[in-house]
Amino acid sequence: MTVLLTRSYGRCVGLFLLVAWAAGCDARAPTSGESAPPSVLVDVPEVGRTYPDGTPRIVALGDSLTAGLGVGPGESYPARLQEKLEMAGYEFEVVNAGVSGDTSAGGLRRLDWSLDGEIAVLIVALGGNDGLRGLPVEELRSNLGAIITTAQDRGVEVLLAGMEAPPNFGQAYTDAFRSTFDQLAKEHDVLFVPFLLEGVAGVPELNQPDQIHPNARGAEQIADHLWPAVEAMARRVGARPSQ
């Protein structure tokens, strides 16, 4: 599986926390004369799978960022991905399996029912609450690894979205937290988007007053950010655009 390499521009640790703002986080956009490094997506070969029992599903397994806390039911990023798939002619049902407050351990506990049915793709977007609570990185790695392995054993393709930890637990923790996602992506050979909140975290107009949860515009930006990878996965599982 090819890895999606998205280089962050102007990112600093813990962008999505108020404490990061207090620490002087600079989540700036490129200024005149500067350009953000491009994303690189190498074509992902199809696996030619069919789903005779119904419409294949793309499940977004995550926390409040996925659930769409504070936005309308049709404004979460999974809902926006559903719209994009339909507009592109892909026949998938996007299932929002986001639960507010969930950690990687919580996601692992409810994985079985999240994978019930004709699941084609699992988007794994967990870890934010692990970082907020300063939970051991080893537990994060173990939980996410188990989620990925279980999905792959069932023939489900996985898209892993990385997260950031806040700076108040120290540089060693934030570095280990970030590198865990990259290591898992390489170890399990899955498609990887390094930061779910790229372009949204630390941008006041894209977040709710708590500056943690994206607003409707922020959720749409997340969907735009994930779309190249999601479309690549749609092609990979053999669900070609309908004519």
Q: Which of 112, 175, 189, 210 is catalytic?
A: 210
210 is catalytic: yes
Our answer to whether residue 64 is catalytic in this structure is yes
**Strand pairing partners for 40?**
5
Q: How far is CA 192 from CA 52, 54, 151, 201, in A?
A: 28, 27, 15, 18
User: Catalytic residue among 64, 76, 104, 114, which?
Assistant: 64
Q: In the annotation, is 213 catalytic?
A: yes
Catalytic choice (104, 188, 213, 225) = 213
Region of residue 187 (phi > 0: left; psi between -120 and 50: alpha; otherwise: beta): alpha
- Which residues have a catalytic role annotated? 64, 210, 213
